[in-house]
Every structure is written in structure tokens, then in C-alpha cells.
Amino acid sequence: MDNLRPRLDALQAQSLYRRRRLQDGPQQPQARVDGRALLSFCGNDYLGLANHPDVIAALRDGAQRWGVGSGAAHLVNGHSRAHQALEEALAEFTGRPRALLFSTGYMANLGVISALAGRHDTVFEDRLNHASLLDGALLARARLRRYPHADASALHRLLKIESARLIVTDGVFSMDGDLAPLPELAALARDAGAWLMVDDAHGLGVLGRDGRGSLDHFGLGFNDVPILMGTLGKAFGTFGAFVAGSEELIETLIQSARSYIYTTATPPALAEATLVSLAIARRETWRRERLAEWIERFRTGAARIGLQLMDSSTPIQPIIVGSAAQALAWSAALEAAGLLVTAIRPPTVPEGTARLRVTLSAAHTAEDIDRLLAALEL
């Protein structure tokens, strides 16, 4: 193992070394991290549901009924009535015939792409897609073609040269906070005879009617985007992921998606909790309204003090810093002031675009936003 040390030392020298923090309490803006009270702006709990008392109660009651673990994979004996109820609720929520639960979004993306594409197929992906989407194409041993970020015209030119099996994109890009040009991508996929897959991990719960996500935001339906992946650990505050689509798609994934077949199902109690959080997210529209208010408040204040923000109308509000060392320095200065904002560095983002990734939640207050802006102004 001694030959690993130089690689670790090189990461430290380049300000690219990653360290874990120790969280001492539940996910909420008023956090306790590494033994310190900090105001957090780096979680994905966009609607403030991760610590909601009704969601906690549903998890507790679910554990009383189902126990703690599922005990097996879905295809053995781990698929409970709670899992089935959640799949049906997610299908109805997304307006699709069926939905299928996966343990994580990473596993869902690996499973879908590797089940639908193979060695002789081409998968086109946005250059800034999440790592799991890129890895899905690599696992499938497909030809991976990456087009410039959010550039539908460039994709159109590439499709004239090579046919596509799948076109894959994030709905909301996790490090930039911007939206993919989904209407244009849907039209290109339709003309090319390809399937369009959208990973809407950061759009569901936040955008569209009742939080139905990026597709609803653009007025797109099931026929426009036949493959939808969503996660449950962000706006919905719990854990896991799902894929929604046609009867044929879901049955194909059950038969062929290795990351679904060969892993233990998530706990049934978690499904019970997610059913409650999904209902709250749909019913309590004030959460999205408040989140939109905080986004506008932050962007207005950031412009006033001259911060360089990216073009994002979502809870993800990156502040471009440049070098990894500078991003770490800014993050450390904010932490000294009692604020937790994560520095995002290469290879997560391109070289020279290291940033502070501010994420906002409906659980924040106006005073929280103003405190962050005041610290950033210094």
C-alpha cells in the first residue's frame, strides 16, 4: 500500500484532498458539525422534509410493522406491500404507467443504461452529466459520445453523423444549478429514433406543478421523455431512487438491470416514510413558494455585492471562485464565521471553475440568507 501515499500527497498539494465531516444531528439549517454549531448551506434537503416530525413518525411506525431490514433483494422476498404502494404513488405522481424502486440514484442510472444499451450502441450524454450517468454508459460497454453542455445544436450535428440508442441528460445539473434544454432534446430524440432519459434528481419536488419536476416545468409528457429517474434523498428528504416509464421499460429493468436484481431492497419502513414525505411535498405548496423567495433573495443580494453567480433559478446557487485553493480558503473563512458552505473542486467540476456550492432550503429563514450574504460581503 505504500505506493498509494504519493497519490494522496499529490491530492493534498493540489488542494484536491477530500475530508469527511462528522454530523452530530439531523439534517437542518441549524446544524452541529465536527462539534460546532454551524448554519448550513450545503445540503440537498430542499423542502425541509428530512427532519419533518410526520416523516419521522412514519419511519418509526413502519419499523414497528416491518422491522428494520428488508432481508433480501426485491426478486427474492424483499419486495413488501410498502414498496409496492410507493412505486404506485410515484407512478401516479410522475404520470407514468409504472415506477421501479432502486437503492440509490447511482444504482438506478447504472442499471437503466446498462440494461438498455450494449456494445454496439451509442449513448449521447451532456458533458456535465452526473458521474453515475457516464459510468452507466461505460458499464454497458456502449460508445459514449459527450456533447457540449446544454448545447442541443451540437448534439444535432453529432446525430447527423452517428445514430443514437440513448440520449441521456440531467434535468437540473447538480454543480451548476441550470436546466437542460429538454424540449429541444426531446425533439432531437424523437427525430433520431432514440430514447431520451432524464435524471431529475434535483428537479423533482422543486420544479413544476406540485413539484413534478423539470419535465412538468417544460410541459413535457411521458411520450416526450420515456425514461425518468428521480431520487428520494433530496427534496423528498428520505433515501433511495426510482425509475418511471412504460410497462415494458419497467419489466425490462426487473429482468435485466443488474443493480436492481443483485442488491438488497431498501427497508420497507423507509418506503412508508417516503409515502408521507411525498404527500407533504405535493400538498404544502408553500414550501416551493418559500424556496423560490429565498432563491430570489439570495441572487438579488449576491448581485448587489458583486458575486459571480451562475445562471440558475434552482436551489443550487454556485459562486465561481476559480482555483481549488481559493475555494477552500473561502469555505474556511465562512466556517470561521459559523457558516457551512462546501468548496467544490476538480474533478467534480472542470479545472479553473472551483466554486462554493450554496444550496438553499425552505427550512432556511430570511435572516439565514441575510447572514450568509453579510459574510460573503466581507
Tell me the binding residues for pyridoxal 5'-phosphate.
105-106, 174, 202, 231
Q: Are 260 and 266 in contact (CB under 8 A)?
A: no
Q: In what order do the strands lie in the sheet with 241-245?
A: 98-102, 241-245, 227-231, 195-199, 166-170, 122-126, 143-147
Q: Is 217 a catalytic residue?
A: no
Yes or no: say if 354 and 346 are a contact pair by the CB < 8 Å rule: yes
Could you tell me where the beta strands, DSSP code E, fall in 171-260?
195-199, 227-231, 241-245
C-alpha–C-alpha distance, residues 242 and 105, integer Å: 7
Among residues 102, 156, 165, 167, the alpha carbon closest in space to that of 129 is found at: 167
Cα separation, 88 vs 243, whole angstroms? 12
* In contact, 350 and 318? CB cutoff 8 Å: no
DSSP calls for 251-307: HHHHHH-HHHHTSBPPPHHHHHHHHHHHHHHHH-THHHHHHHHHHHHHHHHHHHTT-
160 counts as catalytic: no
Binding-site positions for substrate read 18, 130, 348
User: Which residue in 80, 174, 259, 331 is the catalytic one?
Assistant: 174
Q: Which of 217, 234, 259, 364 is catalytic?
A: 234
Q: Residues of 144-162 as b/e, b for ≥16 C-beta within 10 angstroms?
A: bbbbebbebeebbebbeee
Among this protein's residues, is 52 annotated catalytic? no
Residue 7 exposed, middle or buried by CB count within 10 Å (0-12, 13-18, 19+): exposed
Kindly name the residue from 74, 83, 202, 364 that is annotated as catalytic.
202
Catalytic residues: 174, 202, 234
